[in-house]
Structure 1
Amino acid sequence: MKYAVALLVVLAVYAYLAYSVASLGGVDGLPDGPGYISDEVWYVTSARNILHDFFKTPASSPYYTTTWPCVSNATVVKTYKEIDAVTVVGNVTCYVRRGFPYPDKEGILTYYNLEHPPLAKYVIALMEVVRDEPIFWRAPSVALGAGTLLLVYLTARRLTGRLWALVTTTLMLFDSTFRAMAGIAMLDIYLAFFTALLTYFYVAGRDLATGAALGLAVSVKYSGAFPIFGLAYLYAKKSLWKFVAVVLMATSVFLLVNMPMAAQLGLQRWLHEVLAAFAWHTTSRPEGPIASTPLDWLIMRNSFALYLNPNIYAGGTPAYLLALIYAIYKRDDVSVLYISTYGGYWIVYALGNRTLYSFYTVHFSPIAHILLAQLLASVAKPWRTVS
């Protein structure tokens, strides 16, 4: 009972921290009002565009982004420099998009973010149907962050017992990247949740569920596939047919999630976009935010600035390095999954993408903290034996 109460306290503290980020004002939304945080400018808007163009459903909002000839008895609330449009509230005779005012970015009204699969954008779009406002976009991130903590606890409890599971779940609150990404409508907290789910199912011996979780992770970002290297190694020692089943399940889930996109774009263009995405992910971006290498992530260098005043950085935690050292030493199943997931970013880096960012670390943060529980348990075991 005491562990359940303590876990609830941890989740309550987490909820406060995540909501503190989710309630920040943001920029480039309403003039002198709420707006977008960091790369929400790409994901929230592409979700709104997918909602309108692919699912033929407008967002729930009093705002319309339209052109001047369509403005009737309406009040202009935002004008743009980079796009030929205005955002109004009131009556319009026609409109390009309904929803929260767009950021002032060229091409934003037709941007679908096809560099990444659509699952997280579906969820954000669903929230835009409920209400297209910042706190609604970010609510799923807050919920998935809580789910990630719970999965870390449940997986670590299975491996080490309740005490160290609770300790390491608490320590995850000190991961500045996790705290920040759990309050922002970006893709990476979704990726963290499904990777934690994959780890939980694998440790529980549920092969098809592991494959489904892998497929869901890949349906958020293609980097969600990085655990496949570790899974291939682990299942090679168990059963080739189980690995085939995992891959087939993951592929089926990925294709199912992408069916609306393929139906709307056409199969040929969809396949072209998937291949183009792989090329995009192995190519460096233009100069912009501070980039970092996977080595930087281990020593918390070159952190990505997510918000200024208050200053919020994806600074990480020493757990990443400790977990890697322990994983190399231990080489058990969770260690292999961690090395595989972290190592996937080195592969991308080696293939030519030098503009990686520190907020990517939230992807493997759950596995790192599960390993941290194992490390703490192994260190404490001799002392408990002596006492």
Structure 2
Amino acid sequence: MDKKLLNINYIFYTALGIIIVIYTYFTVKTFAPVQGYIGDEVWYPTAAYNYLKLIFHITPPMYFPYSNEAGIQTYLNLSHPPLAKYIMDIFILFLGYSPIAWRLGSWIIGDLLVIAGFFYARYIVGNDIIGNLAGLMTAIILVSDPNLWLLHGIAMLDIYVAFFSFMSLFFLIRKRILLASIFLGLAFASKEPSFVLVIPFLYYLGELEKKPLKRVIYGLGIPASIYLLASVPLMVYYGGIINWFILKYQHMVAWDITNGHIALTAVSQISTPWGWFLNIHPFYMGYNFYANVNPVIMFLWLGLTPIAFIMKNLKMIMTTMFAWTEWLGFTLVYFLGNHTLFSFYVTDFAPFLDSYVVISLFMIARYTLLKNKNINIESKNIPDIKIVKENNETEQKEKN
């Protein structure tokens, strides 16, 4: 990397740092003063505290009372995997049971997600001024996403799925297969909407690794092992893997494909995967917080998806397909019988669609610029063109 490009990178790193500082400031300013349970915080932080109390026999001080839900003092949230609750527990151990303690993990994850979005977009578009601009714009779109904003500010599970699954794809397209597999397992251990990502993950893994055994190990074995490892304390608590598995089926599988998350009469709270495109019935979390969806970004994602296939850019294809796979997963759940879906589920795949919109627009701009200038894409004399050529060569090597 030449000195000029390095200096340019530092300028963009500084801009990214300023965005993170501002984002963190407004996060703390908005969510720290709320001394109460926001949305489904009535379930997850309490379950996290019960992990400590009932499973690990540790009782940090409670500076805030339990929520008022029935049976909450022994509730362990078997409907969802445990990893996010473990992360909440780290902060509860040091700070005691309080709103700031159980939200800190989400705040940190939200900042990390914005940073990851910058480097993800820059990696695909190119390590030049255009790529840095794409990275910075991706960071801006991520911090402006109303769904991510709310879900990163409170103690729910979806922001963890968003971050770990996004990092999984990031490392996958960089051919860091082991890390990609580990992060996919961490997403599995956070919440079950990530399970469907094994399909595009295995597809792209097939482009990188030709040995079937390795594809099975990295695509299925390691992620499943991480999920099971995270569940070991629960297995011990419930008397073994068989009892845990039976309870898991009853609480997770049956729960996910049936109504029951909320009364069907609560029409204003329930939404559909296709309704998310129009921000129909954004979920109300209380304290004047709504899990809104940005229809402009949603429709741009829909309209720009063919661009990845037209350009035959596998990295772009995988970015949009990771998002579509989760969206289709929710759609399948709806048709299997669960008609109580919520708008905040968009957070699970928001990093993919947000980054894809920016990446595709910048790639269109790059190719349009080249065409208008009548520049030969194979030229080695212009830095921007060289990057395009190298990206194309990389794509060809991946296919071979």
TM over 0.5: yes
Q: Matched residues in 1 for 2:233 and 2:192: separation? A: 18
What is residue 92 of structure 2 aligned with on the other side?
128
The one-letter amino acid paired with 2:225 is S
**5 Å matches for 1:194-343?**
194-238=164-208, 239=210, 240-246=212-218, 247-266=220-239, 267-276=241-250, 277-285=252-260, 286-287=262-263, 288=266, 290-308=269-287, 311-317=288-294, 318-331=296-309, 332-343=317-328
TM-score, structure 2 normalization: 0.81
After TM superposition, give the deviation of residue 329 of structure 1 in Å: 4.2
Say if 1:178 and 1:365, in contact at 8 Å, map to a contact too. Answer: yes
Distance 2:139 2:20 in 1: 9
CA distance in 1, matches of 2:222, 2:361: 34
Gaps of 5+ in 2: 1-9, 126-130, 310-316, 374-400
Identity %: 30
Distance in 1 between the 2:55 and 2:230 partners? Answer: 13
Give the alignment partner of residue 32 of structure 2, picking from 15, 23, 45.
23
Say whether the 8 Å CA contact 2:39–2:286 is kept in structure 1. Answer: yes
Alignment-derived partner of residue 96 in structure 1: none
Q: Which moved more, 1:338-347 or 1:235-244?
A: 235-244
Q: Please give the residue correspondences for 1:1-387 in structure 2 after superposition, counting only pairs within 5 Å.
A: 1-25=10-34, 34-61=35-62, 100-130=64-94, 131-160=96-125, 161-238=131-208, 239=210, 240-246=212-218, 247-266=220-239, 267-276=241-250, 277-285=252-260, 286-287=262-263, 288=266, 290-308=269-287, 311-317=288-294, 318-331=296-309, 332-385=317-370, 386=372
TM-score, normalised to structure 1's length? 0.84
Give the partner amino acid of 2:322. Answer: L
Q: CA RMSD in A?
A: 1.7
Which secondary structure does the structure 2 equivalent of 1:306 belong to? strand
In the aligned structure 2, how far is the partner of 1:171 from the partner of 1:222?
26
Q: How many residues align?
A: 340
Assess, with a 3 A threshold, how the Cα gap between structure 1 residues 58 and 268 changes in structure 2: closer, same or farther: same
Gapped runs of 5+ residues in structure 1?
26-33, 62-98
What is the alpha-carbon distance in structure 1 between the residues aligned to residue 79 and residue 356 of structure 2? 31
What is the CA distance between 1:383 and its match in structure 2?
4.5
Paired with 2:214 and 2:31, the residues of 1 have a C-alpha distance of 41
Q: Normalized per residue, which structure has more strand?
A: 1
- Counterparts of 2:92 and 2:143, CA distance in 1: 28
Say whether the 8 Å CA contact 1:18–1:180 is kept in structure 2: no
Assess if the C-alpha contact under 8 Å between 1:324 and 1:339 holds in 2: no
CA contact (8 A) 1:21 1:184 kept: no
Q: Give 2:276's aligned amino acid.
A: W
The CA distance in 1 between the partners of 2:319 and 2:213, in whole Å, is 21
Shift of 1:148: 0.7
Aligned-residue offset at 1:237: 4.5
Compute the displacement of 1:149 (Å). 0.8
What is the rounded CA distance, in whole Å, between the counterparts of 2:245 and 2:302 in structure 1?
Answer: 36
